[in-house]
Structure 1
């Protein structure tokens, strides 16, 4: 009986010694772990003063560091060391680098919209979840995001977003109406189902970046080829925006260089790049915003003036009427999109 007790006690001691040794090994390993991340070229971990080599000059096959928004994932430290031999770059040394999970950059594109309080715009988050969205309620000053009044149709919401986010704009900004799809509500949306969801999913953001501006409607009528002739006398029958456009131009742009013809496919749904927005100073957008708020023109007329001015604000000629097939190719990647 005593022998069995002795054997059992010895076995417990052996197990305890093994566990203590394992623990000490783990603690020792943890003390050597270095972060694989670097910020602005400075690596993390206790050796944070060592800059990350930006390029392996001598070895074309050496893995480059992946980067996201200022962060870099360091590659194999031993390879970096050998590739940097003889260079001015400071190598990472031979410390171990562990596998990391890359940081995902927040979505760099946004949908901006004006809505009435009675309208349901949940479809934007549900159906276009890969876009951020910023939706202003124009008739309820108690809403989380709202304009000070309902004036100029969607104009105040569009301008307010630019003013509020001028210093941190995403790369691509899409301005659209609150309707999802269907006729007649979305009659001016160029897809078979008149669907803003389909059009945004097909949008070629690379074209938006190259051109700075993309009208989401490619069908030329209404709006092209010469919707607004400010000096037509007498003005076109029923074309009330044309009657007020010359004076509105002078007030908006503080000059008398009113174009002879202004034309663009309707109806205030378009995409712009951050770089194009920044071609104008913030004060310009504040001025346009104040004009919409204070002009004695009606809601409809103020919105109509802006509808035929957005493309000019964003760097296009007064007449912006590209061929419809070319427009579909550029904007949606398919000349027969609609």
Structure 2
């Protein structure tokens, strides 16, 4: 796994940048879109844990969370198209040309970029938000509120970076590759899909709301103390304010870092007033900007899936979500075993070179081993992407039913 910086990239920047381009109108719902739902079938989901709420108590709606029924959607017939909107908040220092570059290849994609540097007076071609607060959360909620009645089949919520450590390694950490390879039928089946397949950081058991996680418990890193992590210290307070009367869950987790795709049906499982309530909280809260965004990072899966923890098997996430199918967990682990070895050798090379202990013959041998491992990894990756082009392979690896004529 790549080293993780102390904070998420991008939206914590306060620099300013300007993006040019004409504003795009957002699409109207298309006939036959995937808004129909059926009874819950767990085989349709990577990981679905039925909600186990206690009865809500307290004030009248909209103060209380409405507890919608979460049911998988029905994908359109094979070879159908899906309308999609890519929602991105950006500062003036961030370049989103990668996103606009996707439009030529996908006539059903719309890009909606929100100007967080000039929230109420956005630059040409960008959209406004009420206030730059809560990092990506303000943009995400504003888009939902503004377009609640004319959402695309799929809405992707992403950051502005073209390449980011928190993107998917097997898609070369590319944001454009995430959009290009994402399976819209899979998003419809799931309702909500975290765009990051790698569990670290975020899974398992990432947030212990009581702050009582002990050494050796799942999700705890060496030297980490929940009581000293600021988002943990305020989580119970924020939970009660965002979801008043809702039982505080002991553990919440999903892969970082607040990038996901949601079907129109799943967004509308909550009433518009609920999103307005969430945004009003964000506008008025005294919780500092950085922390309000961090808390929401582990609430999205609860409001759209009804689960505290959403940590699907990485290989299944890749196969179902992006068509990167290794044929089983063993082959997936083989790829990362090779990568680990290559990185360890590279580290040894750097240490020996720094200490002046590296002989030319030894360096040549070690670099040759790295080259071989890298070649073998790329062969495995390309084979996985080719295997994933067959919808039967995707279904088989994910353990879900498939019949002739089904799409992905």
TM-score, scaled to structure 2: 0.54
Superposed CA offset, 1:75-117 (max 9, x none):
xxxxxxxxxxxxxxxxxxxxxxxxxxxxxx9972110010002
Find the residue that maps to 2:201 and give its secondary structure.
coil
Checking the alignment, whether the CA contact within 8 Å between 2:226 and 2:232 is kept in structure 1 is yes
Corresponding position: 1:264 with 2:239: no
Corresponding position: 1:189 with 2:167: yes
Find the residue that maps to 1:272 and give its secondary structure.
strand
Q: Match of 1:212? A: 191
Judged with a 3 Å threshold, the aligned counterparts in structure 2 of structure 1 residues 286 and 201 are, in CA distance, closer, same or farther, namely same
Q: Match of 2:92? A: 117
Superposed CA offset, 1:173-197 (max 9, x none):
000000011xxxx100003431011
Checking the alignment, whether the CA contact within 8 Å between 1:138 and 1:148 is kept in structure 2 is no
Q: After superposition, where does 1:73-84 map in structure 2 within 5 Å?
A: none
- C-alpha distance in 1 between matches for 2:226 and 2:322: 33
- C-alpha distance in 1 between matches for 2:99 and 2:246: 41
Name which one, 1 or 2, has greater alpha-carbon Rg. Answer: 1
Residue among 208, 233, 239 paired with 1:243: 233
Checking the alignment, whether the CA contact within 8 Å between 1:191 and 1:199 is kept in structure 2 is no
Deviation at 1:237, TM superposition (A): 5.0
Superposed CA offset, 1:228-271 (max 9, x none):
11113386154221111111111111114011110000000000
Residue among 169, 190, 209 paired with 2:151: 169
Superposed CA offset, 1:19-55 (max 9, x none):
xxxxxxxxxxxxxxxxxxxxxxxxxxxxxxxxxxxxx
Q: Which runs of 5+ in 2 are unaligned?
A: 1-29, 33-79, 214-224, 327-380, 385-408
Larger strand proportion of the pair? 1
Corresponding position: 1:302 with 2:292: yes
Q: Match of 1:137? A: 115
Deviation at 1:327, TM superposition (A): 1.0
Deviation at 1:218, TM superposition (A): 0.9
Q: Match of 1:159? A: 141
Q: Match of 2:377? A: none
Greater RCO, CA 8 A, separation 6+: 2
User: How many matched pairs?
Assistant: 233
Q: Match of 1:318? A: 308
Judged with a 3 Å threshold, the aligned counterparts in structure 2 of structure 1 residues 256 and 277 are, in CA distance, closer, same or farther, namely closer
